[in-house]
Structure 1
Amino acid sequence: MAGIELLSDEGLRCDGRRPNEVRKMSCSFGVFDQSDGSAYVELGNTRVLAAVYGPHDIRGARSKARHDRAVINCQYSMATFSTSERKHRQRGDYRSLEITSNLREVFENAILTELFPHSQIDIFVEVLQSDGSNYSACVNAATLAVIHAGIPIKDVVCACSASMVGDHSLVDINYMEESVGSGPNMTIALLPKSKQILSMESSGRMHSTAVSQVMDSAMTGCQEILQVMKASILSHTKELNKQ
């Protein structure tokens, strides 16, 4: 299938969405009793679990402790059954290491780490089902898990992907659009209030004239996702207040 065929003559994508539509998103809290905070996110058919432990004492080498802030430890993985390809996925593969590094960078800048010197915060994220935009779904799930753990954070970090098909920018890319589309993909993690971009990654070559269009689409998608996340946080808070 050619990239342009990802859009029908009526302007609909392969899953029936308009180019600027984000997939249906749902969130829940308290998935794991053993963790300090946890969250589960469904973004279309992409499903992600996140768990947060800490702040706690530094584990392992004491030399990595910081006297002025907490150390953020992240780990990203994909379940063996997360895709149609039933193969063992090593935690140390390049893409996993890249996403782990990006997640750590995002939350080092989002969490108020200066409040917890000589401590460590662990963030574990696992993709249970992959249907595109894994990284953005992981950022959103990890954010909710951090909030559920009661760890102070600058803002509700939200992330969204975008791409180009012909002259059209697509928001929240699914697996088919990622793997079949000829256009470049971009994912942005954002602090919404300040509009500070904490992470921006892209794959594929992008003409300079398309960069701003794709960025604007991703940031618009972030705002839509933010509303769902805020509604979930509010609903969870109300449930806690009833108890």
Structure 2
Amino acid sequence: MSGFNLLSEQGLRLDGRRPHELRRIKCKLGVFSQPDGSAYIEQGNTKVLAAVYGPHQASSKRSNHEEVSVNCQYSMATFSTAERKNRPRGDRKSQEITLHLQQALKAAIKTELYPRSQIDVYIEVLQSDGANYAVSVNAATLALVDAGICLKEYVCACTASLSKDNIPLTDVSNVEELSGGPTLSVASLPSSNKIAFMDMSQRFHLDNLPIVIEQALGGCREIQAILEKEVRKHLTQIGSAGDWSNVAK
């Protein structure tokens, strides 16, 4: 339960959202030409870049693997938060998120199609305002799609928490994370309703946990629809650019 009331008397959150509402999401595929795939996403004020290289031949240490090796690297820009400048790159928290990203992405990739291969996923948080892991998963999914990596389905992630009155909240901002109670992060495969990864900042009461999980999964389903819409838009633009029949004579 939260230590502070995160809802106003009108039932609105600190940033004006209703309890179930996501922050505004803006995203784009193909933002870089050098990687095989790339994407940029803004979820509220959290801004993340993702780049994918591969599949390519695995390093000698991993060349014997029958399935693809997914190598992730997560980092935060020095200017991403006020306190970030005091933390070194590759700190323990970043290493944990890197492993969690790896777990979520491997659950979505058709790894059996790329034996003895490696896929490198690089994540850079440009601005942090809560749900860094969740937004990173969503950015990585778009970058994998842009790279043409075969996925079982999209893997999407969302956070959830509870207000002081035990009202579930979707897509928790940094202010809510700091002033509220425990936060749940869920990466799921929404189409099959499977959970790829789940983490809690603190323990929830057993009576509240199912409600918070369902709130996060509902957010994942909404995010999936947003990502799919952006992918269709991107593919339409690529198709239009490559349609020589539209070239002026």
Instruction: Tell me, yes or no, whether TM beats 0.5.
Output: yes
> Are 2:19 and 2:170, in contact at CA under 8 Å, matched by a contact in 1?
yes
Report matched runs for 1:112-151 at 5 Å: 112-151=110-149
Which letter does structure 2 place at the counterpart of 1:89?
R
Report matched runs for 1:204-219 at 5 Å: 204-219=202-217
> Are 1:78 and 1:89, in contact at CA under 8 Å, matched by a contact in 2?
no
Q: Tell me the residue number matched to 1:170.
A: 169
Shift of 1:122: 0.1
Quote the Cα distance in structure 1 between the aligned partners of 2:5 and 2:204.
Answer: 19
Q: 1:153 aligns with which of 139, 151, 158?
A: 151
Q: 2:83 aligns with which of 72, 82, 85?
A: 85
Which letter does structure 2 place at the counterpart of 1:26?
K
- TM-score (ref. length: structure 1): 0.95
Q: Tell me the residue number matched to 1:4.
A: 4
Quote the Cα distance in structure 1 between the aligned partners of 2:218 and 2:84.
Answer: 35
Task: State the Cα deviation string for residues 57-104 of structure 1 (Å, max 9, x = none).
Answer: 123xx1222441111100000001001235143233221111100111
Which letter does structure 2 place at the counterpart of 1:4?
F
Q: Tell me the residue number matched to 1:26.
A: 26
Q: 1:75 aligns with which of 73, 76, 94?
A: 73
> Are 1:66 and 1:119, in contact at CA under 8 Å, matched by a contact in 2?
no
Does residue 49 in structure 1 map to residue 49 in structure 2?
yes
Residue aligned with 2:61, SS: helix
Does residue 100 in structure 1 map to residue 98 in structure 2?
yes
Quote the Cα distance in structure 2 between the aligned partners of 1:47 and 1:32.
Answer: 16
> Are 1:37 and 1:53, in contact at CA under 8 Å, matched by a contact in 2?
yes
Q: Tell me the residue number matched to 2:223.
A: 225
Shift of 1:205: 2.1
Does residue 58 in structure 1 map to residue 51 in structure 2?
no
Quote the Cα distance in structure 2 between the aligned partners of 1:191 and 1:129.
Answer: 26
> Are 1:27 and 1:42, in contact at CA under 8 Å, matched by a contact in 2?
yes
Shift of 1:11: 1.0
Unaligned runs of 5+ in 1: none
Shift of 1:195: 0.6
Which letter does structure 1 place at the counterpart of 2:235?
T
Shift of 1:211: 0.3
Residue aligned with 1:81, SS: coil
Which letter does structure 1 place at the counterpart of 2:185?
T
Shift of 1:117: 1.0
CA 1:86/1:111 → structure 2, altered by over 3 Å: closer, same or farther?
closer
Quote the Cα distance in structure 1 between the aligned partners of 2:116 and 2:46.
Answer: 36
Residue aligned with 2:5, SS: helix
Unaligned runs of 5+ in 2: 242-249
> Are 2:29 and 2:39, in contact at CA under 8 Å, matched by a contact in 1?
yes
Which letter does structure 1 place at the counterpart of 2:82?
S
Quote the Cα distance in structure 1 between the aligned partners of 2:65 and 2:195.
Answer: 27
Quote the Cα distance in structure 2 between the aligned partners of 1:66 and 1:168.
Answer: 49
Residue aligned with 2:150, SS: coil
> Are 2:62 and 2:116, in contact at CA under 8 Å, matched by a contact in 1?
no
CA 1:86/1:112 → structure 2, altered by over 3 Å: closer, same or farther?
closer
Which letter does structure 1 place at the counterpart of 2:118?
Q
Shift of 1:223: 1.1
